[in-house]
Structure 1
C-alpha cells in the first residue's frame, strides 16, 4: 500500500481502483471467461491479435483482460473498448488471488511473456484452471535470476499447462528451469502481428508538415531516467551538422514528463510540449511527446527512431512499430529483452546497434547523410515483420483443445 501511495504521488491513476489490487473484481460475468493477462502497454499491444482471434472463435465466452499498470489499462480501453472486460490483476497475495479466482472462475488463463507469480499459479493448478504462458520469452539474464530461486522456480514453470515460446533459445531456457519438454512449443512472437491504423501514415505526414517537412527529425522513444542526458548531448552535437534538426523526445513513464521538460530547459533548448494546446512553435528544437497513445504517430512523423531503455541496462523496448512504419532504427547496447527480434533486424540491415552512448551522434548522421540508406533500412524492417507473422494462428491451435 505504501508503494501504491508512492506511485500515486507521481501518477494519480495509481490512487484509484485499489480493491482490484486485492482481488475484489467489480463484476460477475454471465458467460464462461477466458482470462488474458498483459502486464502493461507493450504486452497489451501484443495481445490484440490474439484477443481478436479468441473473440472470433469463442463468441459465447467473455474475454477478461487484466493488467498491472494504469497505462496498460488505458491501452486496453483505447484498443478494445467493449470487446473485453478489464480489471487489474491483484498482487500475488494468497487471499487476493483466492478472491480474484473465486469471482472470475476462468475456464482458461493466458499469461503473456514472463509473468511468473507463485500464488497465482499454485491456486490455478489447485482449481484445475489450465494456464498458458503465451509469447513467452526468457533472456539469459532472467533465466539466471530465476535459477537462484531453485524449487520455487521449478514449481512455477512446471505448473503451466503449455508454454508457447517466442524462439528456440527461450524454449531451451524454460526447459532448463523445469518446464516439461512436451509442454513447450515454439510459436513465434505475437509482436510481429502488428496492425497499424490505415490512416496512420497520413496523420504522420500531417504532423510532419507542422514540424517542418524539410527538418531532419529523429525520435528518442520510451526513454528512461539517465538516458535523456546522453540524448540531449548527442542532439547538441547533431545540431552542428544540422542546425534545423528536431528531436522528438518521448519518456517511457508519464510521471517523468515534467522532469524531462525541466532537464531540456536546463540545457537551454527551445521546447514544445505535445500537451500544450497551441500551434507548434517552429523555433522549437525539442518536441516532448508528453501524451498517451501517440507514440506510433510520432514514429510515423520522424526519419530515424532511437529505442529507449537501451543506453542503460533496462533491456530496451519493442522496435517493431518503427520497423512496420519503414523507419530506420538505432539501438543501444542493452537490448536483452528483445534478443531474437534485434538479431533479425540487424541481419536484415533494418537497424544499427551502437556500443556506447558516445556512438549515438554518428549513428544518426550515418542515416541522415544517406537518404537512400534511410529508405533501404525502412524497407528491410517491413520485410522482417512480413516474414515473421503467424504466431497468433499457431497459438490458437494450442488453445483450442483446452476449450472443448
Structure 2
C-alpha cells in the first residue's frame, strides 16, 4: 500500500490541467489533515475557481481521506528524490503550497524555492533538539528559507526560528481548535448510541491500540459496575483484532455491525468496528479515554475536549503534543501509566461528579480560548493571492 499507492500519483496529477489554478496542501497523516482541513474549507469558500490538491505521506491518512469531497485530487506525495519532486511540481503546478506542522523534505523544499511557489507552514511546532537548531544542522536549516511564512503553535517555536534570523513567523496557534470547535455546531446525534447509552454513565475509548485495550478490558472485567457502559472504537479494525477484543471482554458486548434489530440497552460494551463515527460518539461520553499514548503516539484529544468531557490518555511521552501538555496543565486531562493508575482514576471519576464537571468545563474552555488560527492564516493567503 505504502509503495503501490505512490505508483498512481503522477497519473492522478494529470487531472490538474495547466490552465487550472491549484491550491496544494500536504499532510503527513490523518492528524495533520485535520489541522489542514479548516484551511481547505475556508479556501474553497473564498476561491471556488481553484482546484484543490491534497497529498499524504502515510497510508493511514490517504486511505481514510482519499475520497474527500472538497479536494479535486487526493494522492500520495512521491518519495523525496530530485527527479520525483521536479515531476511532481511540474504536474501539480501549485500557485500556493501549504505544508502542515512538519514534513521538511529537502528536495521538495528546494524545488518549491526554485519555482518561486508561495510556500507556507501551518500549525508548526519547533523544538530545540531538532536538527535545524543543532550546530551540525546548517544544511537542513537552509531549506527552511523556502518558506514564505511560518504559522506556529507557540512562542517557543517562534523564538527558535528568530534565533536563526527567520523573522517571517506568526504565532497563530493550532488550526485543529477551529476544526473541533465547529463540531459543536453540527448535528452530533447518533440514534443507536443513544439507545445503547440509555442515560447511563458511559466511558468512550477512542482510537485505542492493543496496549490501551488490555488495561481497559481488565478494568471492565474486574471493576466495572452495572451502572457504567463502555464504547470502544479501536484504531485498527480487522476481523482478527475485533474478534480478539470481543473475546477478551467478559461483559455483554455488541459490535456496530450487529446493531440492527437488537435491544442495545441490554449490552454493557459497544465495539465500533467501522470508521467515521468517533467524533459524534464522543458527545455521548461522561469520560473519554484517547488511545495511542501507550503505543506509537497520542491520537486527537481535542475532539472529546470540545464537548466538555474529561480526557484520559496513557503514557508519559506526550511532550510533542502541545495540546496534551497544556490540557494537563490546565486540569482538563489526566494521564495514566499502568493498570493501577487507570483503575484508580476511573473509579474516582465515576464516583466524583464534581471532579468530572470541573475537568469537563476546563476542557471546553481550553478549546474555546484557542480558536482563531484559521482566520489569521487565511488573511495572509488572501494577501499573497492578490
* TM-score tier after normalising by the smaller chain length: 0.7 to 0.9
2:141 is equivalent to residue 154 of structure 1: yes
Find 2:372's aligned residue among 356, 369, 390: 390
1:316 is aligned to 298
Q: Tell me, in whole angstroms, the C-alpha distance in 2 between the residues paired with 1:146 and 1:289.
A: 43
2:192 is equivalent to residue 213 of structure 1: no
Given that residues 208 and 302 in structure 1 are in contact (C-alpha distance below 8 angstroms), is that contact kept between their aligned partners in structure 2?
no
Given that residues 171 and 185 in structure 1 are in contact (C-alpha distance below 8 angstroms), is that contact kept between their aligned partners in structure 2?
yes
1:358 is aligned to 340
1:18–1:268 distance in 2 versus 1, CA, 3 Å? farther
Given that residues 307 and 319 in structure 1 are in contact (C-alpha distance below 8 angstroms), is that contact kept between their aligned partners in structure 2?
yes
2:310 is aligned to 328
Q: Give per-residue Cα distances to partners, 1:67-106, cap 9 Å, x unaligned.
A: 234553465466x514543222222233222221111111
Given that residues 161 and 167 in structure 2 are in contact (C-alpha distance below 8 angstroms), is that contact kept between their aligned partners in structure 1?
no
SS in 2 for 1:65: strand
Find 2:126's aligned residue among 130, 138, 141: 138
Given that residues 309 and 334 in structure 1 are in contact (C-alpha distance below 8 angstroms), is that contact kept between their aligned partners in structure 2?
no
1:222–1:110 distance in 2 versus 1, CA, 3 Å? same
Q: Tell me, in whole angstroms, the C-alpha distance in 2 between the residues paired with 1:140 and 1:317.
A: 23
Q: Give per-residue Cα distances to partners, 1:366-398, cap 9 Å, x unaligned.
A: 221122332332222222211111101111233
2:152 is equivalent to residue 165 of structure 1: yes
SS in 2 for 1:96: helix
SS in 2 for 1:116: coil
Q: Give per-residue Cα distances to partners, 1:137-187, cap 9 Å, x unaligned.
A: 23566x2698597344213333322211111123334556x5x42122211
Q: Give per-residue Cα distances to partners, 1:46-81, cap 9 Å, x unaligned.
A: 222212222233333222222234553465466x51
2:34 is equivalent to residue 45 of structure 1: yes
Q: Tell me, in whole angstroms, the C-alpha distance in 2 between the residues paired with 1:145 and 1:291.
A: 40
CA RMSD of aligned residues (A): 2.9
Long gaps (5+) in structure 1: 5-14
Q: Tell me, in whole angstroms, the C-alpha distance in 2 between the residues paired with 1:28 and 1:244.
A: 56
2:223 is aligned to 238
Given that residues 291 and 298 in structure 2 are in contact (C-alpha distance below 8 angstroms), is that contact kept between their aligned partners in structure 1?
yes
Given that residues 207 and 291 in structure 2 are in contact (C-alpha distance below 8 angstroms), is that contact kept between their aligned partners in structure 1?
yes
2:13 is equivalent to residue 25 of structure 1: yes
Find 2:23's aligned residue among 19, 34, 37: 34
Write out aligned runs for 1:99-110 (5 A). Answer: 99-110=87-98
Q: Tell me, in whole angstroms, the C-alpha distance in 1 between the residues paired with 2:99 and 2:111.
A: 15
Q: Tell me, in whole angstroms, the C-alpha distance in 1 between the residues paired with 2:326 and 2:183.
A: 21
1:165–1:308 distance in 2 versus 1, CA, 3 Å? same
1:234–1:182 distance in 2 versus 1, CA, 3 Å? same
1:380 is aligned to 362
Q: Tell me, in whole angstroms, the C-alpha distance in 1 between the residues paired with 2:219 and 2:160.
A: 37
Given that residues 221 and 305 in structure 1 are in contact (C-alpha distance below 8 angstroms), is that contact kept between their aligned partners in structure 2?
yes
1:260–1:58 distance in 2 versus 1, CA, 3 Å? same
Given that residues 192 and 259 in structure 2 are in contact (C-alpha distance below 8 angstroms), is that contact kept between their aligned partners in structure 1?
no
1:349 is aligned to 331
Find 2:177's aligned residue among 170, 181, 192: 192
1:269–1:325 distance in 2 versus 1, CA, 3 Å? same
Q: Tell me, in whole angstroms, the C-alpha distance in 1 between the residues paired with 2:168 and 2:269.
A: 50
Q: Where has structure 1 moved over 6 Å in runs of 4 or more?
A: none
1:212–1:69 distance in 2 versus 1, CA, 3 Å? same
* Superposed displacement of residue 253, structure 1: 3.3
Long gaps (5+) in structure 2: none
SS in 1 for 2:74: strand
Given that residues 319 and 325 in structure 2 are in contact (C-alpha distance below 8 angstroms), is that contact kept between their aligned partners in structure 1?
no
Which has the larger helix fraction?
1
2:75 is aligned to 87
Aligned length: 381
Structure-2-length-normalised TM-score: 0.87
1:138–1:317 distance in 2 versus 1, CA, 3 Å? farther
Q: Tell me, in whole angstroms, the C-alpha distance in 2 between the residues paired with 1:281 and 1:170.
A: 48
